[in-house]
Amino acid sequence: MNFSFKDYEKKVFGCFVGKCVGGTLGIKREGKRDYEKVTYYDPVPDKMLPNDDLDLQVVNLEAVLKHGLPVSRYALSENWKYHVADTAPDEYGCSVSNHALKIFAPLSGIFRNKMKAGMGGAIRSELWACLAPANPTLASTFAREDACNDHTDEGVHAEMFLSAVESSAFIEKDLLKLIDTGLSVIPDGSKLKSAFLDTIKWWNNSGDILAVRELILKNYPSDNWTDVTINLSLILLSLLSCENSFDKAICTAVSLGYDTDCTGATVGSIFGIINPDGIDDKWTSPIGNTLVLSAGVVNMHAKNTIDEFCNQIISVASEVQTYYNTGISLNIPDSFPKTNLSKPHLKFGSKIYEWKDGAKESLVAVNPFILTLVYPNSVSAYPNTESEYKLRIENPSDTDMNGSVRLNLPDFWVATPNSFELSIKKGETVELPFTVNPDGKQKRMPLNILAMQFTINGLPFTFESGLPITYPWLKENLVTGEKEIFEADSVFFTVPEGKFRYTAKLFSPMIKDIRIHASGERHFKFFLNGEELYDSSNSWYGTFYAPTFHRSGFMKTEIKREYNIIEVEFVDGEPAGEFYMGFSTVNGCAVWIDTFERHNF
């Protein structure tokens, strides 16, 4: 397939201009759950407003430039460590924290993450569509690699759907056909697909925007206003009802409420690809052409304007067509400004994309071989218990690999076996099972490194991955007086019906101002070193359960450089429910703190 370069260039620019317009229009209504008719900016901005919808696509393009092709979850997650800092809400915070503990994708989107169905992945879809125009399968593959860093299930499916729609929009204008293409890349029976099919049915039956909106909220409820099922259904409703009008589409999306900067931006980008000339100057003049990034995106060598950013994408897209052998020619002229893209680090044809949704595994390395650590179902290791792991090694090279690997763990942890001889033919994949058993008498550290020391064809390589361990709580039944040690897999655990006290013993290496975040499906009282800090019965949060430090109830306090005792008391007369506790820095949306030692009783 041959593209007209001018047409492709115009559509890439239209995509991101439409995204910036829709995002700027919607950001003032972000998080509002009511319907409010919107017709134009209010107030009228004098520049583009910063938005994570665009921020993280700039970061992702930087990853592709730095690491080269193929686009992989490994390269994308590596880049977040350097460029997403200081403030990391919701699923971003979970992912950044997991990567700091050397827990990589796709497990980083699952472990300790209750926001895995948020909008944070869906809003990053446009880059992949522009790199793979008219190729929805490849665009959705890129989207899957990206979204799994901080999502799973519908959080991943959402970005795949949008990337496929936007990729197809480079050659197709019919919205119903575009929606069908998007539906084709997500699993049958998935929650997101069911919601889409219902939304289409409800719209065809009534043609009433507000009636369909109410049906979406009634049938797919969520306390989370960034929930992808709700927000993508509202995006779909905006597309179905817009009568092919850019203005009506973005205004409807924002009027419907919820994650309005994201819904407005996504609808704007789709129309910007379909008809870049359909974006009136009244929308673009106020925001200008300057590329504005949020304060939490750091150390970026980003371009200064939207046009320059789009030029980078176009230059990389040319390399993508060649590497993936797409059969698509973008006809980019020799005079077009080239960008610096690293050489490919894997041959095309590697099995790097062959992973299952929801896999409890981390992609640890992609060079000189593909190394994956497969975790037990609990993810966390239990003390004095053998937990089963596997190393999966793919040899993507043209030569056989011979050598060995030795597993080194922290003191008092035992791996069995702790070494393997290796003989892996070119193109072959092997799996090496082993068990890990931590000594339960020792203090529990958040970061427990498994160092894998390879010698391959005479050359040494060392890779590291993190092994989380369970959190010990002293669980006391306040009615019977019975006590036992309870091992929690993660920062979440289920409290049974009844009246209980849970006690944790932490050590901080320094005096530190922190925020302690606690949220639960049951009412509770929270104590630190004997002082009551929080009573959820007296809080407007109540049992509104938002298990993320960005939105849960929190207590700003000072933690001491000594043992700190946390007690959480749950009242009687309530059914079983989940509880969450985490720690963060004190400013803004904050970042997770994972440096406190847990001690036994």
The band of 244, judged by pLDDT with boundaries at 50, 70 and 90, is: very high
Residue 563 is encoded by which pair of tokens? 């043992």
Q: Can you tell me the distance from the alpha carbon of 157 to that of 229, in angstroms, rounded to the nearest whole number?
A: 10
Whether 551 shows a pLDDT value over 90: the answer reads no
Contact 361, 111 (CB under 8 A): no
The band of 519, judged by pLDDT with boundaries at 50, 70 and 90, is: confident
The band of 553, judged by pLDDT with boundaries at 50, 70 and 90, is: low
Q: Dump the DSSP string for 393-437.
A: EE--SSS-EEEEEEEE--TTEEEES-EEEEEE-TT-EEEEEEEEE
> What are phi and psi for residue 260, nearest 5 degrees?
-70, -30
The string of pLDDT tens digits covering residues 346-388 is: 877 778 999 999 999 999 999 899 999 999 999 999 999 999 9
Contact 146, 162 (CB under 8 A): no
Q: Can you tell me the distance from the alpha carbon of 448 to that of 451, in angstroms, rounded to the nearest whole number?
A: 10
Region of 361 please: left (phi>0), alpha (psi -120 to 50) or beta.
Answer: beta
Q: What is the rounded (10 degree) CA torsion for 16, 22, 23, 28?
A: 160
Q: Can you tell me the distance from the alpha carbon of 184 to that of 164, in angstroms, rounded to the nearest whole number?
A: 9
**Letter string b/e over residues 120-159, b meaning 16 or more CB atoms within 10 A of that residue's CB:** bbbbbbbbbbbbbbbbbebbbbbbbbbbbbbbbbbbbbbb
What sign does the CA torsion over 46, 47, 52, 54 have? positive
The band of 573, judged by pLDDT with boundaries at 50, 70 and 90, is: confident
The string of pLDDT tens digits covering residues 261-296 is: 999 999 999 999 999 999 999 999 999 999 988 877
Contact 16, 310 (CB under 8 A): yes
The string of pLDDT tens digits covering residues 180-233 is: 999 999 999 999 999 999 999 999 999 999 999 999 999 999 988 999 999 999
Contact 156, 117 (CB under 8 A): no
SS3 content of the chain, % helix, strand, coil (to 5): 35, 25, 40
Instruction: Taking each helix axis as running N to C, give the angle between helix 73-83 and helix 52-67, from 0 to 180 degrees, rounded to the nearest 10.
Output: 120
Instruction: Taking each helix axis as running N to C, give the angle between helix 228-241 and helix 154-168, from 0 to 180 degrees, rounded to the nearest 10.
Output: 30
DSSP run (H or E) holding 598: strand 597-599
Contact 124, 57 (CB under 8 A): yes
Average of pLDDT values for 9-18? Answer: 97
The owner of tokens 């190394």 is 371
CB atoms within 10 A of CB 382: 17
Average of pLDDT values for 24-34? Answer: 94
Which has the closest alpha carbon to 209: 234, 175, 246, 245? 234
β-partners of residue 430 are: 393
pTM score, whole prediction: 0.95
Whether 549 shows a pLDDT value over 70: the answer reads no
Q: Can you tell me the distance from the alpha carbon of 148 to that of 362, in angstroms, rounded to the nearest whole number?
A: 11
Which has the closest alpha carbon to 375: 417, 416, 433, 419? 433
Task: Go through the domains of the chain in sequence order and give each one's CATH number.
Answer: 5-323 (1.10.4080.10), 361-466 (2.60.40.10), 471-599 (3.90.182.10)
Contact 150, 91 (CB under 8 A): yes
pLDDT for 306 equals: 94
What sign does the CA torsion over 103, 105, 111, 113 have? positive
The owner of tokens 């008391």 is 569
